[in-house]
Amino acid sequence: MRIAVTGRNGQVVQALLERGPLAGVDVVAVGRPEIDLANPAGIETALKATLPDAVISAAAYTAVDLAEREPDIAYTVNGLGAGAVAYASRRLGVPIVHLSTDYVFDGHLERPYGEKDATGPTSIYGQSKLAGEHAVAEANNNHAILRTAWIYSPFGKNFARTMLSLASTRDEVSVVDDQWGSPTNAFDIADTVICVARNLVMEPKATGLRGVFHMTSSGETNWAEFAEAIFAASRLIGGPSARVNRIPSSDYPTPAKRPLNSRLDNSRLARSHHVRLPPWQASLPPTIERLVARDFKERVPS
């Protein structure tokens, strides 16, 4: 099976390029200049050239706070751009797997969100991603929309890398402890995306495999506890670590409002696609080991 994935340098794209061969899948990353979601012309031609069995829509505008100042760009990329990719996949006669986010919810629910719970994004980023979900569903019925959260990996900018960078220069880091979710490793996302894409290709008439699904690691935590786990894993291999000063979200204001509850119910994904992501604690140490080995080789005392 061959899948075309939009983007080149994103965390999930890099994880797919690494995991694809292990699963017997040919992964072709298609990004700028061939594909520019801010300028949809040429998307179909670029995707067609890859001869895909499925398309993975992973490229997105992900600058959550900057989106508050750049709503037009966020909506163009995450809404219109995602829809254009889905339309191209329909024209090619192949399914699309589109990656979305917990930010489509307001975070006020006191239990994990299910796919049927009402959306209500409180940020431009979340609103633009929800617009993308609607555009994808409208453009291609043969779709699976996978909402995920708290992505981290050895690639790019993410919370794990940020924490290790801060710990390499200071003894204490302040982290909010009233936002809850499930840290989700990009490699686990890649494995799941491949599984879902394969199911869509193998069972083209199975309606239960299509629609919206939630996809996060098993278990839950808050950002402060996640930071403590990162430092514990790093400390074991001689990497940087720091004390965590727990603070409320009110002490760390940001331009875009973050959901206090980012927990997602993944049971539909398990029932339909027979896949369940591993506990977040299990996937963390290998990623920290790679980050420390590559970027934080020297022991930094805490």
Indicate whether 103 pLDDT > 90: yes
Number of domains in the chain: 1
Whether 230 maps to a domain, the answer reads no
| Per-residue confidence (pLDDT) for residue 41, from 0 to 100 | 84
Q: With bands split at pLDDT 50, 70 and 90, how would you rate the model's confidence at 300?
A: very low
Cα–Cα dist 178/51, whole Å: 46
User: What are the tokens at 269?
Assistant: 């994904």
What are the pLDDT digits (tens) for 167-197?
999 999 999 999 999 999 999 999 999 999 9
Do residues 129 and 100 touch, judged by C-beta distance below 8 A? yes
Host domain of residue 136: 2-157+184-219+261-278
Q: Which residues pair with 184 in a beta bridge?
A: 151
The rounded mean pLDDT for the chain is 96
Whether 61 is covered by a domain: the verdict is yes
Strand ranges for the chain from DSSP E: 2-6, 26-30, 54-57, 96-101, 143-148, 151-152, 172-176, 180-181, 184-185, 211-214, 221-222, 243-247
Report the alpha-carbon distance of residue 273 to residue 239 in Å, rounded.
38
Average pLDDT, integer, range 139-168: 97
Does a structural domain hold residue 247? no
User: Does some domain include residue 176?
Assistant: no
| Residue with token string 């979200």 | 249
Q: Which residues pair with 243 in a beta bridge?
A: 172
Asked if residue 287 belongs to a domain, the reply is no
Place of tokens 């992973």: 58
* Bridge-based pairing state of the strands 221-222 and 151-152: unpaired
**65 located within any domain:** yes
Task: Outline where 153-298 has alpha helix (H).
Answer: 159-167, 186-202, 223-236, 267-273, 280-295
- 60 within some domain: yes
Check whether 104 has a pLDDT greater than 70: yes
pLDDT per position as a tens digit, 245-298 = 999 999 999 999 999 999 999 999 999 999 999 999 999 999 999 999 988 865
Q: What is the structure's pLDDT at 298?
A: 56
Rounded CA-CA distance 128/66 in Å is 13
Q: What distance, in Å, lies between the first and last C-alpha atoms of the chain?
A: 47
Radius of gyration of the chain (CA): 19
Is the CB of residue 279 less than 8 Å from the CB of residue 221? Answer: no
Q: Which CATH number does the domain housing residue 140 bear?
A: 3.40.50.720
- Pick the catalytic residue from 61, 103, 125, 152: 125
Residue 125 annotated as catalytic: yes
Task: State residue 295's pLDDT score.
Answer: 82
Are 249 and 260 in contact by the 8 Å Cβ rule? The answer is: yes
User: Does residue 235 fall inside a structural domain?
Assistant: no
Task: Give the residue among 108, 228, 86 at the shortest CA–CA distance from 160.
Answer: 228
Measured at the alpha carbon of residue 262, what is the angle toward residues 12 and 277, in degrees to the nearest 5? 50
Q: pLDDT tens digit string along 196-250? A: 999 999 999 999 999 999 999 999 999 999 999 999 999 999 999 999 999 999 9
Q: What is the pTM of this model?
A: 0.95
Average pLDDT over residues 80-103: 97
Burial class (CB in 10 A: 0-12, 13-18, 19+), 41: exposed
